[in-house]
Structure formats: C-alpha cells, structure tokens
C-alpha cells in the first residue's frame, strides 16, 4: 500500500490473522496436550482427525457467518474466541507441565508469555493508538515470545532427554 500510494489495497490480509492463527493454536494445543499425556504415561490419542474436524467446523461456521452478514464482526469473533481459548489452554498446560517436571524457570517463562498476551490484549483495546504505544506493544510482544521460545526449547530438550519424546 505504501509503495503504490494506497492504490493497492491489501487490507484483506488483516482478516487472515485470525483465519490462520485460530487453527494454528488449536493444533499447538492438541500437540502439547498429546505430549503431556505421553509423558504422564497416559495413552496418546493418535486420532489427529479430531482437531482437524474441529478446525473445519470452526472455519465453516465462521465462513457461514461472514457470508450471511459480511458487515458483522461475528465471524471474526468465532475465530478470535477459539484462538484465545486455545492460547490460554496451551499456556496453562505448559505452565503446569513445567512446574510438575520441577522446571520452575520454564514455568515462570510461560507465565511471562501468558501475562504478555493478556497485556497486549488490553493495550490493543485502547482508543488512542500512538506510535509510542505501538513500540511498547511490540516490545512486550518480543519479550513475551522470546520467553515462550526459550522455555519451549528448554522443555523440548528436557522431554527428549528424560522421556525420549521426539
């Protein structure tokens, strides 16, 4: 848009944020849940069809809501709700798993990530979105996801070393 002086309209890409993130977080939740089950010596459900069916139903309902009333934000709210629930559930699973495995630093890093996500949610709702606020949001986002990446890396190394999880 900037290089074409606004002649090229790519605002439709903004809607893709939730269309891709909601299924991604559902798959992330499913994967983490299965690994936690395996480590806890519970049977892992190899039925990957379950999250795919859920994602299909979610996208179909969201698509129906968009087709029925394109001006309504209901279709986005379906995706946003699923994304938030899957993100929160994944975070809780990782936090609890980290602490149960006696990895408090990992648990705390996942807590920092989850707190960062909630902070960003609150900041995004502010009426006035100044450039300074955008930089604060980007800084929180960077720190939050660096904490997630570091904790996930440590947790992966731990599970590989102790449980043979690949």
Of 83, 113, 128, which one is at a domain's C-terminal end?
83
| Predicted structure pTM score | 0.84
* Residue range(s) defining the domain that contains residue 133: 101-166
Token look-up 């904490």 returns 147
Q: How far is CA 143 from CA 13, 71, 130, in A?
A: 25, 35, 20
Tens of pLDDT, residue by residue over 123-162, are: 988 888 889 899 999 999 999 999 999 999 999 999 889 8
- For 53-60, what is the mean pLDDT? 95
How many domains is the chain built from?
2
């Amino acid at each position: 848009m900037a290089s074409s002086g606004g002649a090229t309209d790519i605002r439709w890409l903004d809607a893709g944020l939730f269309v891709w993130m909601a299924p991604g977080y559902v798959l992330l939740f499913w994967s983490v849940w299965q690994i936690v089950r395996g480590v806890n010596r519970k049977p892992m459900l190899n039925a990957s069809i379950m999250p795919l069916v859920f994602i299909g139903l979610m996208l179909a309902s969201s698509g129906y809501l968009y087709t029925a009333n394109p001006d309504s934000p209901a279709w986005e709210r379906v995706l946003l709700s699923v994304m938030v629930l899957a993100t929160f559930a994944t975070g809780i699973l990782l936090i609890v798993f980290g602490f149960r495995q006696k990895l408090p630093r990992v648990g705390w890093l996942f807590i920092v990530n989850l707190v960062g996500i909630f902070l960003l949610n609150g900041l995004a709702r502010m009426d006035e979105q100044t450039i300074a606020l955008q930089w604060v949001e980007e800084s929180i986002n960077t720190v939050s996801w660096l904490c997630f990446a570091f904790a996930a890396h440590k947790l992966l190394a731990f599970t590989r070393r102790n449980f043979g999880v690949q």
